[in-house]
């Protein structure tokens, strides 16, 4: 589209970017967690001081149609050679603190995906300050507009094991019935080993933080015993998740469940 323009807002312009982001979220509806302002702002609060970033806004006339968080990677190398990486979305953190975003995408108005991708890439390619452009954690359908706009982009597919729990409704709510036979066997074997399991949903924010704290302790203990630091050894990583939990729980956007064996 000839009437599309691209504006770069610096990190100091976060309030302006926030206003545009929230308005586009309202227009789009369900944008997914990693593309939401809730996720993005919490990430900026915890990583924005170490990861250089800008906001790229695509407008049609004077109306914003897309917004992207653009970050510059910290400490990236390839074969021990420093590489200046450019990332779309909440990525580029130091390796020891990395969140590893999944289901990343660009916040863009309906019907504007291909046009916005082309407009953004045309501006980015005029910047010679980076060596490698990365679309971390993009699902194939969200990466496709960029792959179509720039044939030099090379997709790399990585497995992401998931289970569609909605399909259990067709089996009278039996989640085990939708798993493979080997997985069903392993789950049932574990259940028998615990004999009796008590479950508890977090009903208050205090419940949520208590469950999360125990999760952190169990995770860290398991990995320290294996001679590894565990992901929560990173204070930034830990506080990012605590802040995100506090923000999302009050909106009913996250739930926590604790299963305990009285014998544990």
Residues 175, 215 share a domain:
no
Instruction: Strands of the chain (E only): list them.
Output: 4-10, 53-60, 63-72, 77-78, 81-82, 85-88, 107-108, 132-134, 198-201, 257-260
Residues 141, 35 share a domain:
yes
Residues 105, 221 share a domain:
no
Cα(89)–Cα(78) distance, integer angstroms: 21
The 3-state DSSP class for residue 87 equals strand
Within a domain: 258:
yes
Tokens of residue 242, six digits: 């605590």
The 3-state DSSP class for residue 168 equals helix
Residues 60, 11 share a domain:
yes
Residues 187, 232 share a domain:
no
Tens-digit pLDDT string for the chain (264 aa): 568 999 999 999 999 999 999 999 999 999 999 999 999 999 999 999 999 999 999 999 999 999 999 999 999 888 889 999 999 999 999 999 999 999 999 999 999 999 999 999 999 999 999 999 999 999 999 999 999 999 999 998 888 777 788 888 888 888 888 988 999 999 889 888 877 888 999 999 999 999 999 999 999 999 999 999 999 999 999 999 999 999 999 999 999 999 887 765
Residues 199, 137 share a domain:
no
Residues 24, 112 share a domain:
yes
Residues 211, 185 share a domain:
no
What does 44-70 look like in DSSP terms, one character per residue?
HHHHTTTS-EEEEEEEETTEEEEEEEE
Domain range for 211 is 195-264
> Euclidean distance between the first and final Cα of the chain, in Å?
62
Residues 178, 225 share a domain:
no
CB 34 within 8 A of CB 151: no
Within a domain: 24:
yes
């Amino acid at each position: 589209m000839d009437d599309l323009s691209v504006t770069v807002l610096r990190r100091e312009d976060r309030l302006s970017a926030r206003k545009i982001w929230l308005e586009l979220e309202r227009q789009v509806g369900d944008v997914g967690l990693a593309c939401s302002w809730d996720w993005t702002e919490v990430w900026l609060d915890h990583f924005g001081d170490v990861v250089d970033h800008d906001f790229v806004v695509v407008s049609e006339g004077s109306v914003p149609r897309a917004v992207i968080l653009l970050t510059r990677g910290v400490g990236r190398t390839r074969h021990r050679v420093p590489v200046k990486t450019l990332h779309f979305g909440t990525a580029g953190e130091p390796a020891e603190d990395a969140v590893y975003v999944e289901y990343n995408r660009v916040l863009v108005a309906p019907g504007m995906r291909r046009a916005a991708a082309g407009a953004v890439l045309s501006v980015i390619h005029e910047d010679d300050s980076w060596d490698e452009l990365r679309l971390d954690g993009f699902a194939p359908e969200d990466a496709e507009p960029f792959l179509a706009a720039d044939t030099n982009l090379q997709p790399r597919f990585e497995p992401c094991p998931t289970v569609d729990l909605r399909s259990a409704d067709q089996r009278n709510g039996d989640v085990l019935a939708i798993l493979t036979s080997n997985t069903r066997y392993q789950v049932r074997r574990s259940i028998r080993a615990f004999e009796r399991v008590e479950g508890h949903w977090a009903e208050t924010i205090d419940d949520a933080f208590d469950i999360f704290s125990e999760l952190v302790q169990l995770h860290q203990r398991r990995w320290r015993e294996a001679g590894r630091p565990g992901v929560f050894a990173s204070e930034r990583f830990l506080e990012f998740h605590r802040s995100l939990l506090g923000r999302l729980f009050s909106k009913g956007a996250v739930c926590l469940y604790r299963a305990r064996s009285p014998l544990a």
